[in-house]
Amino acid sequence: MNCIVTAGPTYEPMDDVRRLTNFSTGRLGSGLANYLTAHGHQVTLLIGQQATYRGERHAQKEETFTTTADLSDRLQLLSRQPMDAVFHAAAVSDFTFGKIWNRSPQGEMTEIKSGKISTRQGTLLAELVPTSKIMAGLRNWYPRALLVGWKFEVEGDRASVIGAAERQIAECRTDACVANGRAYGDGFGLVTDGGRCVHLADTGSLFNALEQYIRK
């Protein structure tokens, strides 16, 4: 089957030299791409430019993305090709920068527009605005593909993460969601449409379950 796997972080520039990003390494998505390739699937791996994982990657095709908008554009371009499954494991930034102001000692606010914001500007105030949600667009771009998202949470408990995964499936019209993170605890939960959750102890079990899922 023709598959897309996204992995690693996006970033959002504050100016020409500074950026906002997250701690995603790209390890999990790269491992999934390797597993699918080893089991005979044609895989395109979209990997974040800032991914720190430097292990082997064996996908037949690999592209690097930068910002959330860049990843969105690449996914839309790939939708022109026949795809059977999309595994969206990338950690997309929830926010990007809006306006940035300098606050003087007297409390006066001045908006800053610069290729490189000077470190001598004093106190800076940055507006963070939500990025567009890639998951919400996948069904429009890939109407017949099997779509699998991720829900990584650090607060709450296992039940709350599974609930968030169920909401993602319902709201984004996806087929399944992988629940993990500190709130979920050890291992992964593969949540499918209808609310069924299968606990998987490690990445090997997860990769096997996902590969079997797309063969159904």
Alpha-carbon span 8 to 70, nearest angstrom: 13
Q: Could you say which architecture CATH assigns to the domain 2-93+133-215?
A: 3-Layer(aba) Sandwich (3.40)
Domain with CATH 3.40.50.10300 in the chain: 2-93+133-215
Q: What is the pTM of this model?
A: 0.94
In this structure, the strands spanning 188-192 and 196-200 are antiparallel
Check residue 121 and give its pLDDT: 63
Cα dist from 178 to 69, 103, 189, 193, 210, whole Å? 23, 43, 6, 12, 9
- What would you measure as the largest C-alpha separation in the chain, in angstroms? 66
**pLDDT in 10s for each residue of the chain, 216 residues:** 999 999 999 999 999 999 999 999 999 999 999 999 999 999 999 999 999 999 999 999 999 999 999 999 999 999 999 999 999 999 999 999 999 998 887 888 888 887 888 777 678 899 999 999 999 999 999 999 999 999 999 999 999 999 999 999 999 999 999 999 999 999 999 999 887 999 999 999 999 999 999 987
